[in-house]
Amino acid sequence: MSTGLGLSMVKETARRLGFKISVTSSPGEGTTFNVKLPKGKKRK
């Protein structure tokens, strides 16, 4: 049995790093998690 801490930890880590997380769920179809990362600077 899970305690549900995983998603809470991901949410806090994403907030600290400037990531955006969204969740879409449809009963009987499943759940989709999207993570948007900030655009990085090009390295030479």
Domain boundaries, given as residue ranges, for the chain: 5-36
**Per-residue pLDDT at 43:** 79
- Output the CA angle 19-24-26, nearest 5 degrees: 165
**Per-residue pLDDT at 30:** 93
**Per-residue pLDDT at 22:** 92
The answer to whether the pTM exceeds 0.85 is no
Rounded to whole angstroms, the Cα distance separating 44 from 31 reads: 39
Paired tokens of 32: 């989709």
In tens digits, the chain (44 residues) has pLDDT values of: 667 788 889 889 999 999 999 999 999 999 999 999 888 887 77
Place of tokens 């400037």: 18
